[in-house]
Structure 1
Amino acid sequence: MSWSVGQVSGFAGVTVRTLHYYDRSGLLSPSERSPAGYRLYSAGDLTRLQQILFYRELGFPLEEIATILADPQANALDHLLARRQVLTEQITRLQKLVEVAERAIEVQTTGVELTPEQRFEAFGDVVFDLSYATDAHLKWGDREGHQESLARAATHTKEDWRQLMAEAAVWRARLLAAFDQGLPADHQEALDLAEEHRQHITRWFTPCPPEMHCRIADDYEADARAFALVVPPAEQRPGLAPYLRAAIGANARHLAEEPAGPEHVKEAP
């Protein structure tokens, strides 16, 4: 059985132009012809094409591929070992670039330069997962609150970060205590904690009405990376994320039942 240039291009994922180039360079020439004189690829030609594509995927230049394939007795192992070394060096270089990019993203997100020591001092065990930051930006990027939150974060000084994280640590200790004591999610202490969390977001990042707070809480239960921003993994307990989500939902319902007016807005200490 044989195949035309167009057929090979379709199922091999190679452009007709590339196949013609391989033909002109002598790397891969169709070995058969149709009754009408059209050049056709045999099964052996396809095997050779698979070898070419394999080496191309590894980054071999065409000249080196031709050398490897020119002698059926040639041992490709030396070429593959050399290519592995090149790829390993490229991976190392790219990993360094990734680290630089992550650092740049982190600086843009927090708005401050921090040494590792300063970062631990400010954030403790709280980890900012860049993959979550990216997903959150894709999910919420067109929302005004998300944009304002990033803009506000960029203006925070190192001292601001230390203060807000200190507040969060005190709040977190109270949350863990309430959960460990078995207080219901609609207990007054749990409602107070939920409201203080909402006010914390408003004070440091963006106005956070109850409905927005509930959406944020949904992420806490659905995505471990989001909840790790609130409670470090080392301090988490099974069921804690759903508990906080339930408390935030109960607080939102409680606020909806309260009469409107500044005297009913609870401020966090």
Structure 2
Amino acid sequence: MTGEAARPGPGPDDPADALTVGRAASLVGVSVRTLHHWDAIGLVRPGGRTRTGYRVYSGEDVARLHRVLVYRELGFPLAQIGRILDDPDTDANDHLHRQRRELLEQIERLRRMVGAVDRMLETSASGMRLSPEQQVEIFGDDWRPEWVDEAEQRWGRTAQWEQYSRRAAELSPSDWENVAAATESFQADLAAAKRSGVEPGSAEANALAERHRALMSTYFDCTHAMQVCMGRMFVEDPGFAAHYDGLAPGLAEWLRRVLFANAEANGVAPETATWDS
């Protein structure tokens, strides 16, 4: 049994509101150690004693404890709390009003932060804000809305997918229509360049590669190394290869060569390039 627990409480002849340190600590919700510390620094000292000599807190002492707790909860340091409580020239209400204003400002900052987090959560969860019907209407009858879910399963944990989710959520249906038109125009120009014999590494081919990078940057910050990885995927992934080769025979492999040559011209070695390099 500890010393505090072993001490008897006030006797019948002691003040009715007298509390031992243990009972006072339990009443106000702090530890006995905290009350001993506040006693040692002169912040709140038990002002009475029982007939048997134990120090006890009066009702006035407990009221002071509660005031200390209020100020501490508001962020005041203990030394300042002591000055506020002991200085007769200090207006405690002025301190409280000022702290109230600061708390309201903090609440407003936190409210804005919560709003920002909510928008980020909403964005990362939703990404493209188009219904399946709108997607087909904008991107064409061969578009499959489930491709978005498949893409998230494939790249959902990457920083680029997070960028895509934020940016896609900000695009309106008319914005998506512009993106779809730009993509369709670009792919038509790709097929025309392939059919006309444009050589990878030429100025015209490099310009097409940069148009591709600009289109990808609609969704995330696309580097030349990322383009190299895409070029590999366009050939190795049956779905991408079929799409590009459907525009012009051999277009997938030609596009890979175009992206590789442009990346090399920009200081990226296609043989060793990785998504994060």
Normalised-by-shorter TM-score class: 0.3 to 0.5
TM-score (norm 2): 0.46
TM-score (norm 1): 0.47
Higher RCO (C-alpha 8 Å, min separation 6)? 1
Q: Decide which structure has the larger Cα Rg and report it.
A: 2
